[in-house]
Amino acid sequence: MKYASFLVLFITLSIAGNDGVYGAGECGKSSPDMEAFKLASCASAAHDQNADVSDSCCSQVKKMGQNPRCLCAVMLSNTAKSSGAKPEVAVTIPKRCNIADRPVGYKCGGEFYILLPFTHPFSLLYSPAPLTGAMAKLISS
């Protein structure tokens, strides 16, 4: 449970896709906490930047990236908040999976958030920041 929520946090910050919502809530008929469990295969990759990322993890990350609103909800879920995973490592998973068109930030909770790999883990949840060209180049490299 802890590992899945961490991965959700990283995915939310690093992947964008279709802006549609499927069903009643942000994640359709599933709760954000339940969606977090789908990322359990990313647990080791979310804790250790040198760990191999499984094909299953990459597949789930890419799939969840199709619904950024769900990813945002998953990141803000109780499961994600209670995770012991390292967000600064988790955010590297899309790049480690060679997922093309990785965005540098996301809009979540009415604010635009920047994904900075070396920030305090909880600052990603609560600190809005404007996207600038310098930050975009730093993050996407």
Q: What is the pLDDT of residues 30-76, one digit of tens each?
A: 998 898 888 888 888 878 999 999 999 999 888 887 777 776 676 66
Cβ neighbours for 74, distance < 8 A, ≥ 6 positions apart: 5, 8, 9, 11, 12, 27, 32, 33, 35, 36, 64, 80
- Which domain covers residue 131, as residue numbers? 2-140
pLDDT at 125 > cutoff 50: no
Which tokens in the block code for residue 2? Answer: 């802890």
pTM of the model: 0.55
Number of structural domains (the chain) is 1
